[in-house]
Amino acid sequence: MIIFEEHLAELHSGSPRSWGSLASDTLTWESEGEQRVLALDEIVGAAISPDSPNNLPSFIVSVYPLVRSNIFQQRRRMLREYRFVCTDERIRNRWIRAINNTLRGVEDVDTILPPRHLHVILNPTSGNQNPREIFDRISSVLAASNSQWTLTETQEAGDAAKIAYNLPLDKIDGLVVVGGDGTVHEAINGLMRRSDWKRAIEIPIGTIPAGTGNGLCKTVLEIAGEPDDAVSAAFAIAKGNVRSFDLVRVQQANHRYYSILSLSWGLVSDVDIESERLRWLGSLRSDLYALLRILKLRTYRGRFSFVRAVTEPRGDDCHSTSSSNSESPNSEWQTIEDEFVLVWAMNLPWAAGDMKVAPGASAWDGAMEVFVVRQGVSKWRLLQALLQIADGSHTRVPGMEFYKVCKLQLEPFTRQGILAVDGEKVDYSPVKMEVLNGWIRVFGAN
């Protein structure tokens, strides 16, 4: 369906009286006797050009197609700018409104929409790269999408939660986190502590990968069919597509909080937390420490209880959208009491950009996938599984167990050990988790 038609010409390629048309999925115009087409899926926005050649009103359309520099490289989003001239300012302004409004789902070309306003939380100490440099590199993508933002940097642990807790919800259209999953975890918990939390979690959340682990961002980009890099993450936010993701309620003693990614105990949390002192090794840190821990393998005695997830149809045993902790009379809890090498509960498929821990997990199915390894599995099998975890093929290694659950309880019996939620160390005490189906909204997932 044609949304808008008017005079339009690409700069230096045609007469200003050439004709162009905008549909819900394409922008089309004539250039040097040929029809040119841009897919709206690749356009992030239109804006007035800073210069006006031959005193003709002009504007720029910013496009980020997937481009492969050579046969050895993966495709990446690369900026292409198309400059157009119009016969007068009125037509130019209508073209800009038509394109930007259509990108935001508004087909009335005369409606004047204000720029989107984002609040950006940047953790300058996150990961092994420089989050400030990463944001500087991708901010032009957001600017091209007719977005403005307020940038706040964290100074210490817990700041992201404080910032999210105090956000002026009526003045923002989205929250963007530049950091890793731990910073996202803080921000979500800040939103959930608010008295108006039901309104707060309606604010879409986007993430720019700048942490050690970027499982949420990797999952979003995979769903959207995008490359795993910061520019693609910014492009996904700029496009403004939003989807509901599951959230997980966590209860430890009298402390309630929320998780977006994972719970880990045993080998995984030991490597994640204890290897912090080896940060100087960079990306090798986790691999080398994991090898050491496999050679000197620890086991932990405990009890893992769970309710299996029922997806179609959803039964009474799993009220994942319930706001209470009550269990239905039909709940069937199963329990495993044993010596564990690891328990790794995943709300999303990816724990990091190179770790597809739970290939069977979905971001919105009301369930977690739990990866369990018990005592008795050989060190060779365990090493084999960790080597294959990058593409998810570790699921085929003998001795690796997987459970699809909507509720779980984990009770460590050992005095010493590490529990981590979303990659961050938490109290070493019994923990309960329940999936809350579709509770948060995330930018970028089609």
Rounded to the nearest 10°, the torsion over CA 374, 297, 424, 386 is -70
- Enumerate residues 6+ apart whose C-beta is below 8 A from 323: none
- Enumerate residues 6+ apart whose C-beta is below 8 A from 416: 428
- Enumerate residues 6+ apart whose C-beta is below 8 A from 162: 190
Which has the closest alpha carbon to 100: 146, 149, 50?
146
88 is catalytic: no
CA gap 355, 272 in Å, rounded: 13
CA gap 411, 414 in Å, rounded: 9
CA gap 74, 223 in Å, rounded: 17
Catalytic pick from 159, 181, 317, 365? 181
Q: How many residues does the chain have?
A: 446
Q: What 8-state DSSP symbol labels residue 52?
A: -
Rg (CA), the chain: 25
CA gap 412, 304 in Å, rounded: 9
Number of H helices, E strands in the chain: 10, 24
- Enumerate residues 6+ apart whose C-beta is below 8 A from 363: 219, 223, 243, 245, 246, 347, 348, 349, 442, 445
CA gap 17, 7 in Å, rounded: 5
3-class DSSP state of 23? strand
List residues with catalytic annotation.
181
